[in-house]
């Protein structure tokens, strides 16, 4: 796909906004970038997904360097990496099959299978996460002690992560969660931070700022794996990636600086409204696809 100068500038601005979100919330930003590239700029879905996955490496690296990650911060991300890798391969394969499928007819309209699958999954996922984030926005970090998975489902072997929280986690449970996270990441071109952040905060009871740091490390790992997988399938546009990185790297640094000045409750509330806004945008696009 050839990118003109005007489109290049628009994509760079989008990359700056996405990088800002990556640094501020500890997410890769692909959940917003893929819909913008596909819905607003008309980039084919497979290229939007693959290029988004590749672009995330820039802001994620900048955000990690700004936070000065220590060795002890790598323990949990390394445990989850195996499941992530297998999930990314599976998700990428599903997208590839959808890309190669013929168009289907809905209400007499030809619909591209890859577009429909990705947008429907995006809509359901973002709407669910938005509701969860907004409902919990009134609860400070000190009230997140009764987490869903903390000290539960202790299938051996188990491990502790004292730098994150007080409690024990099952390594098999972490691995299976990584598999599911990687599957969705490979399919949607996201880094997984949008799912991982609520899981770390509400599922494990990790304080928001610590959860964001942990999420950023995993975001980088997933982005690296997804880039390789999508590049092998020809779903990465170098022109789009360069345009996104130009703005994304600067935005990530600004977002990281702002993150340190906000309280955890404020971050969760703003995150929830952002998710809801993107879900509504995707919902409008789905309606347009089905009735136009």
For the stretch 181-214, pLDDT in tens is 788 877 776 666 667 777 777 776 777 777 777 8
For the stretch 108-118, pLDDT in tens is 667 777 777 77
What does the chain come to in residues?
Answer: 292
Give yes or no for residue 123 having a pLDDT over 80.
Answer: yes
Q: What pLDDT is recorded for position 34?
A: 77
Query: How many angstroms separate the CA atoms of 78 and 140, rounded?
Result: 28
User: Would you kindly state where each structural domain of the chain is located, as residue ranges?
Assistant: 3-289
User: pLDDT band at residue 107, thresholds of 50, 70 and 90?
Assistant: low
> 226 or 283: which carries more pLDDT confidence?
283
Across the range 271-290, mean pLDDT stands at 81
Across the range 149-155, mean pLDDT stands at 64
- Beta bridge partner(s), residue 169: 159
Collapsed DSSP state (helix, strand, coil) of residue 248: helix
Q: What pLDDT is recorded for position 291?
A: 74
Query: How many angstroms separate the CA atoms of 246 and 62, rounded?
Result: 12
State what percent of residues in the chain have pLDDT above 90: 0
User: pLDDT band at residue 262, thresholds of 50, 70 and 90?
Assistant: low
> 248 or 131: which carries more pLDDT confidence?
131
Give yes or no for residue 285 having a pLDDT over 70.
Answer: yes
Query: How many angstroms separate the CA atoms of 114 and 82, rounded?
Result: 27
């Amino acid at each position: 796909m050839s990118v003109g100068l005007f489109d290049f500038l628009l994509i760079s601005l989008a990359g700056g906004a996405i990088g800002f979100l990556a640094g501020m919330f500890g997410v890769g930003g692909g959940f917003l970038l893929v819909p913008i590239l596909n819905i607003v700029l008309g980039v084919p879905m497979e290229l939007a997904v693959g290029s988004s996955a590749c672009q995330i490496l820039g802001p994620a690296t900048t955000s990690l360097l700004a936070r000065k990650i220590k060795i002890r911060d790598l323990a949990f991300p390394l445990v989850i990496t195996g499941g992530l890798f297998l999930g990314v391969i599976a998700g990428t394969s599903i997208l590839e099959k959808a890309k190669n499928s013929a168009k289907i007819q809905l209400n007499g309209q030809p619909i591209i299978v890859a577009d429909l699958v990705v947008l429907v999954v995006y809509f359901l996922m973002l709407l669910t996460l938005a509701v969860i984030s907004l409902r919990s926005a009134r609860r400070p970090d000190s009230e997140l002690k009764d987490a869903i998975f903390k000290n539960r489902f202790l299938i051996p072997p188990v491990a502790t992560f004292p730098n994150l929280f007080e409690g024990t986690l099952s390594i098999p449970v972490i691995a299976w969660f990584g598999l599911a996270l990687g599957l969705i990441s490979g399919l949607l071109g996201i880094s997984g931070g949008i799912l991982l952040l609520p899981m770390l905060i509400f599922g494990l009871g990790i304080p928001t700022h610590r959860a964001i740091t942990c999420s950023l490390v995993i975001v980088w790992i997933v982005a690296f794996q997804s880039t390789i997988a999508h590049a092998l399938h020809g779903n990465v546009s170098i022109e789009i990636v360069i345009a996104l990185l130009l703005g994304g790297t600067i935005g990530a640094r600004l977002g990281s600086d702002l993150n340190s000045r906000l309280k955890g409750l404020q971050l969760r509330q703003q995150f929830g409204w952002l998710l809801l806004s993107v879900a509504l945008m995707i919902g409008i696009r789905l309606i347009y696809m089905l009735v136009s």
